[in-house]
Structure 1
Amino acid sequence: MVKKRLISLLACFALALAVPFAAFADIGPKPEVTVQTTGLSGDCWVTLLAEETVIGPWHETEKGTVAAVEPEEAPVLDAFDAFEDPDGYHFLQWFDRVQDASPATWSYMAPKHFKILFWFPESGSYAVTEKLDRYAYSAVYRVDFSGFDPAAGEVQTVAAQKNYDYAGEALGLAARFVLTLAVELLIALPFGYLKRQYLRVLLIANLATQLALNLALNLTAYYSGSLAMWVFYPLYELAVFAVEAVVFRLAFKPEAGKGHPVLYAFVANAASYAFGLWLGNVVPALF
């Protein structure tokens, strides 16, 4: 009887978590690279030189043959097109103006391996980094131009540092962890499990599963993007429910006047999942 109920609850939980969505080709976020600068003075443009000659809509053109652009951007395109990289990296027609207060982001299918190339119109010179990797789904690099003189050489090498907001990610993870844990403990109250004899198991199980859940969400978003995180979120929550259902069923004996421990696991996780979806819409910065 218990097995049948558990199977029924699992089926209901899976259906409740299944959020229907239509999948269309080329819809959703794509890998991106953001270039930040500090100490930059004067006009400056930036591009990423890629290992590949074609990435989605981005592609290399024959020398001297470039895409149509605004008249003011034509010299920029010509300058990047004329640059000869000693390692054979390619200019794929993406470029943008960059300033300290206005980073440049290749937001659509950015290359996995690349160099950052800067061009300074006033001196006609370049600055280029060493080979870099898109270490995260939304990678951020910062280049410090303090003391840099564009006129000091035709091509100069600059260093780029990873500048991903790890502190912000950690803060978001901690906030989600505390809030979802609070929801599950609150649900324990009407079930009669928020008592001393149950509290230790309840806290240990919820601390472990909610921490694992939120770490999984963070890692998925870091390596695969926000869309993948929301797709896997219900699957992760289902796994958490299964673990908690087994733990609570073994640790708690159903007593008169108390809800079944598996039912508690179902309601608590369904509530925390719904709360997580709501939180993601209201405070997206936490995800």
Structure 2
Amino acid sequence: MRTKYLRLVCAVMLLLALLAFPVGADMGPKPSVTVNFDGLSDRVCYATLLSDREHVGPYSVWDGIEENGINDRNYPGELEYGIWKSFADYRGCDGYCFLQRAWRVDKTKSLTWGYMPPDNLRILLYFPESGEFAVSGAYERYAFHTYYTVDMRDYTAGSGTLPKAARSYSYTNETISLIARIVLTIGIELVIALLFRYRSRRQVKILLITNVITQVILNVFLNVVNYTSGSLAFILMYINAEIIVFVIEAVIYAGILPEPAEGEKPKRGKAVLYALTANAVSFALGFAIAWLIPGIF
């Protein structure tokens, strides 16, 4: 019987592996850096992120040939030539360079570099009406989606230096969503356990302890993946991690969950089927909830 349920586990693992799908090298979400400028005045203002590298993905410093510059003749409406040229000529920050990307921020009060932003950066503002530049200290892209906030109420016009940028990633929301996922998953699997007639105090205790351990480890791991590598990596690791969790739970449940009547053999296959059903349902509902409430994942 033990060989039979182990074969079932292996068969399910093989099936899930065959259902895996290829991922292109440039598919899915990309890292980003967002900078919010609280209290920024309504003066016309442009912003960019300076890089410590001269080439980052498709972006690079100007080679000095005007025809190769990103100006209004090449990219109409994106960045006026005079603004681009002012940034390109900026030399106020040794070791950091302009990658020919900038945005007007006096209306939006924020900048988002959404495709391959620099890993090491400085924030640079330009006020064209006065010709004034203001640059920040050195920062880094600390998460897949990085957020900084600069309180411009502390900025002194003409100083040339921006106030310190504060990391503003929403760790509180991440913690709440983490706890919500764990509680929701455990609740789903316990309800399914009742449908499989696993109702004794001993069985519920086994299920509860096993689920708390596996779901805490799984969800903390997935949160770290999402934080550092983004949602596509999260999805791929979610699939692989769920397979591992299923195998672990199937082995545990098959070994200690059944309570056979005297003279009967333990129904280990039923325990494996429960592990498969519970994990499949919680996995599917997890994606459905993520679609309805994106912030929970």
The reply to whether TM is greater than 0.5 is: yes
Identity level (%):
39
Aligned to 1:119: 126
- Provide the residue aligned with 2:98 in structure 1: 91
Tell me how far 1:99 sits from its aligned partner: 4.2
Query: What is the match of residue 70 of structure 2?
Result: 67
Question: Contact conserved, 2:9 with 2:247, CA < 8 A, in 1?
Answer: no
242-251 or 138-147, which deviates more: 242-251
Structure 2 residue aligned with 1:200: 205
TM-score (norm 2): 0.88
The aligned counterpart of 2:153 is: 146
| Post-superposition offset of 1:43 | 2.1
Instruction: Give the Cα separation in 1 of the matches to 2:81 and 2:161.
Output: 23
Residues 59, 197 of structure 1: CA spacing in aligned structure 2 closer, same or farther, 3 A cutoff? same
Pairwise mapping of residues 21-170 of structure 1 onto structure 2 (< 5 A)?
21-41=21-41, 42-63=43-64, 65=66, 66-69=69-72, 70=76, 73-99=80-106, 101-150=108-157, 152-153=158-159, 155-170=160-175
What's the counterpart of residue 277 of structure 1?
287
TM-score (norm 1): 0.91
- C-alpha distance in 1 between matches for 2:230 and 2:19: 18
CA distance, structure 2, for counterparts of residue 87 and residue 244 of structure 1? 56
CA-CA distance at 1:3 after TM superposition? 2.5
Q: CA deviation at 1:251?
A: 2.4
* 8 Å contact from structure 1 (residues 40, 99) kept in 2: yes
Residue pair 2:154, 2:163 contacting (<8 A) in 1 also: no
The aligned runs of 1:8-23 (5 Å cut-off) are 8-13=8-13, 15-16=15-16, 19-23=19-23
- Aligned partners of 2:97 and 2:251: how far apart in 1? 55
Deviation >6 Å, runs of 4+: none
After alignment, is 96-105 or 253-262 more displaced?
253-262
> 1:211 — aligned with what?
216
RMSD: 2.2
Q: CA deviation at 1:14?
A: 5.1
Amino acid of the residue matched to residue 2 of structure 1? R
Aligned residues, how many? 285
TM superposition shift of 1:78: 1.5
Note the residue ranges of structure 2 that are not aligned, 5 or more in a row: none
Counterpart of 2:296 in structure 1 is: 286
Query: For the Cα contact (< 8 Å) 2:45–2:125, is it kept in 1?
Result: yes
Give the Cα–Cα distance (whole angstroms) in 2 for the partners of residues 221 and 99 of structure 1: 31
1:260 aligns to what SS in structure 2? helix
SS at match of 2:150: strand
For the 8 Å contact 2:36–2:111, the answer to whether it is kept is yes
Provide the residue aligned with 2:3 in structure 1: 3
